[in-house]
Chain A
């Protein structure tokens, strides 16, 4: 018989969705011990999906992206340490060192440090060039967009496509550049990515797809646009670099933890004895899929947090979610449950593509492995039950 002891103290490193959700899940599941949340930023915990949409467009005040009101955070009975990034972890002693010199020890340490945006060479210190990861980034980008007439978004994934849609909706002349044949082709597969491509084109976004960006164009310390590998120059006052993000694990270098495209964990999201990882930074073994997986999406942050909290409290249950993500671009709300393999058979089961309102099932070898909804959220949820969760196979690595 395995005797499980509940920890007397838990330290969560990271104060965004995954970190805060872990703290909340611990309390919800009955944990009454000491709880500390350490955040790198000064802001109270905030949500990231609205940054590229409501916050960037100005529909929301930045404070509306806050995850919980102050009173709810106080009710958590956790020590919230903000504006102090973690800089090191002693795995055996379960002690985290911070930039300001704190040394925080706990019986269980949860790593929830998320992602950092990738950048282009020569980007640092160049005016007019932005990445979008945090609240400050969103406000700074918004300020520049309001003063500009032309923007180029480098990156055709979820974030790049959303930023292009938002910037276009703000009235800018927008070019979306990236290596794929259609926006979000990797996440949506050819069928839906083509529809998204049409949507962007109809709304006046210039698409320069299938060509990589060679370099930033500059003059006097400012960007003046980007040059593609084809030689074409796309002039702009604002360039947004959105071609992916990397797990924030540099502070764990030399800790002895396995770091390979994230913090490597077992099926229960445990990186070492008493050390756990959750959210965008965690790469764990999905027993259902039989593969290592790291998910960069909002719902995973919450679901994995609940699983990790339960496992910290002794449950020892493998985390086997059905991946889910959504994106909002122009008038389209696109929701995806499961996976959308390139070679899957696509069957429209509700609505019609011509109406831009439909649900599609993705089948592989006769089994339903994915559900994609386009402006039909309720119907999409109802179709989710048709997924054959045993048949979902997905490539290793991140989805967004």
Chain B
């Protein structure tokens, strides 16, 4: 799985972090998404899919 993020689209809701804490974080100053792991391991794949699904800005793109 390959993950990319679109920081211009991100609205800093932080829902991705709630869904997949090991893959996403937020910048302290403005809450914009930070990608911690662009190639997450298989056991996190469902969490990452969930993160992409709940992102209200659809700023997370997954290539399986």
Residues of A within 8 A of B (CB): 21, 24-25, 28, 47, 49, 64, 67-68, 298-299, 302-303, 306, 324, 326, 328, 333, 335, 375-378, 380-381
Contacts and interface: CB of A to CB of B under 8 A. Distances in A.
Given A25-B53, A47-B57, A381-B17, 14 more contacts: A47-B58, A68-B58, A299-B15, A299-B54, A302-B53, A302-B54, A302-B56, A333-B31, A335-B12, A376-B31, A377-B31, A380-B14, A381-B13, A381-B14
B44 interface: no
Contacts of B53: 21, 24-25, 28, 302, 306
B27 interface: yes
Interface of B: 9, 11-15, 17-18, 26-28, 30-32, 49, 53-58
A278 to B, nearest CB: 14
14 contacts: A21-B53, A25-B53, A47-B57, A49-B56, A64-B9, A298-B56, A299-B15, A302-B53, A303-B54, A306-B53, A328-B11, A378-B14, A378-B27, A380-B31
A378 B13 contact: no
Contacts of B57: 47, 49
A266 to B, nearest CB: 24
Given A299-B15, A333-B12, A378 B28 contact: yes
B18 to A, nearest CB: 7
A67 B12 contact: no
B15 to A, nearest CB: 7
A326 B13 contact: yes
A381 B18 contact: yes
User: Would you list the 4 A-B pairs with minimal beta carbon distance, nearest first?
Assistant: A377-B31, A381-B14, A377-B12, A378-B26
Contacts of A333: 12, 30-31
Contact of B49 (A28, A298, A303, A378): A28
Contacts of A21: 53
Contacts of B14: 377-378, 380-381
Contacts of B58: 47, 67-68
A68 B57 CA distance: 10
Nearest to B11: A326
A25 B9 CA distance: 21
A377 B24 CA distance: 14
A47 B26 CA distance: 22
Nearest to B29: A378
A156 B35 CA distance: 37
B14 to A, nearest CB: 3
Contacts of B17: 381
A25 B54 CA distance: 10
